Homo-oligomer: A and B are copies of this chain.
Amino acid sequence: MRILLLGVGAVGEAYCSLGVERDPGAQWFEQVVLADYTLDRPLKVQKKLNDKRFVVDQVNAADKEQVVAACKRHNIDLLLNCCPQSLNVSIFDGAFEAGVMYMDLAATLSEKHPADPYNKPGVLLGDYQFNKSGQWQEAGRLAIIAMGIDPGVTDVFAKYAESKLFDELEEIRVRDGANIYVEGYDFAPTFSVWSVIEETLNPCYFWEKDKGWYTGESFAEPEIFEFPEGIGPQEVVSIEHEEVILIPRHVDKGLKKVSYKIALGREFIEVLNTIRKLGLDNPGKINVKGVMVSPRDVVEACVPNPAELGHLMHGKMSVGIWVKGKKDGLNKEIYIYQCEDNQDCMRRYNCQAVSLQTAIGPIIASELLARGIWTGSGVRSPEEFNPEPFLRLMLDYGHPYKIIDMPIK
């Protein structure tokens, strides 16, 4: 399979490292074009990988015509979009026009409800993409959206819980947390600040069978969740995330409620609130002494680049779903999760844990597509595929999931 990897950030780099380790010289990972809006990162990653399957190219992902041309130039089978999700539209539409398969790690952006944003949903995450599913289906082509770790692997877990682990589902609570800290920095995010601002400062989402989707304030309903693997108890808060939109669409067995909460830490929440208070979350361009610039881009440029901090990070990251339901007539409450230790990731791949973990979703999905195990057409979410081969490959890749009993009080 010939892959165009658009956006060679920390996640793109981890994706390549996982592919190389998995299958040196494998046909399904035949060629990967490392493309970004400058050649700096592609060349850096190509040098690190030191493998003839990786070539580089310069593509402005905001320009659909450049995306189409790059797909054609390299005779691409699959376009993997690892750019900030604000660029999804031009890349997704470019893939369609070029006639290639498409995969991304986060869905197209939501829009707030114009009148009542903290109660009612407006445009949902991924609406733009799902609305074009008919076109993709007619053309016999496949797009998989939101195929990272979360969203992505969490959605695969949800489908697996429904199809194999439970007779009846009541509630799915996605719960992410880490005890990662960055040595020597007052403040250092472990993931793209642009994306963190987007998902945390939008209204948060909930779904209930009787009410459908509804929204709340950022950081709503804080609670303590006891993470496994020594991470321990963390305060988790509600933010906008794809799983709340995706899981209810294809997971049923009586499912009544879906929520997403993440451990951000009080300090990070204060920082995010201040960014909003000052208007620095604004993704649009403003005039600063005659120069047009986006305040959110400035914040991202000021903070340390999470792709470069892996060697200073310590701790573990756990991503999973906490499921409540029934099996064989008995109550069942489990946490299905994947956990990465940063030091392990640095040793194995010279990649930091958060981006390595995010890349598990797309690398396994790529292999399943290349080997004809996952097939189909239209615009699809991870719940729409057979979870079992995916979970087996998690073991083969050496990034296993675990299932533990965890009662919901």
A293: chain B residues within 8 A (beta carbon): 288-289, 291, 293, 298
Q: Which of B275, B287, B298 contacts A295 (CB 8 A)?
A: B298
A278: Cβ under 8 A from any B Cβ: yes
Q: Is B282 touching A302 in the complex (CB atoms < 8 A)? A: yes
Q: How far is the CB of A235 from chain B (nearest CB, A)?
A: 19
Q: A295-B298, A295-B302 are in contact. Are A186 and B277 (CB under 8 A)?
A: yes
A186: chain B residues at CB < 8 Å are: 277
A264-278 interface (Cβ within 8 A of B): 270-271, 274-275, 277-278
Copies in the complex: 2
Q: By CB atoms of chain B within 10 A, which of A270, A274, A289 has the most? A: A274
Question: Which bucket holds chain A's interface residue count?
Answer: 20 to 34
Write the chain B residue with the least CB distance to A289. Answer: B297
Residue of B nearest to A267 (CB): B277
CB within 8 Å of B: which of A287-309? 287-289, 291-295, 297-299, 301-303
Cβ-defined contact, A301 with B287, below 8 A: yes
A-B contact pairs, 30 of them (CB 8 A): A187-B278, A270-B270, A270-B274, A271-B274, A271-B277, A271-B278, A274-B275, A275-B278, A278-B299, A279-B302, A279-B303, A280-B280, A280-B298, A280-B299, A280-B302, A286-B298, A286-B302, A287-B301, A288-B293, A288-B294, A288-B297, A288-B298, A288-B301, A289-B297, A291-B291, A291-B292, A291-B293, A293-B293, A293-B298, A295-B302
Instruction: Mark A236-280 against chain B: 1 for CB-CB distance below 8 A, else 0.
Output: 000000000000000000000000000000000011001101111
Query: Within the complex, what minimum Cβ distance (angstroms) separates A274 from chain B?
Result: 4
A302 in contact with B278 given A291-B292, A293-B293, A297-B289 (CB within 8 Å)? yes
Shortest CB–CB separation between residue A297 and chain B, in angstroms?
5
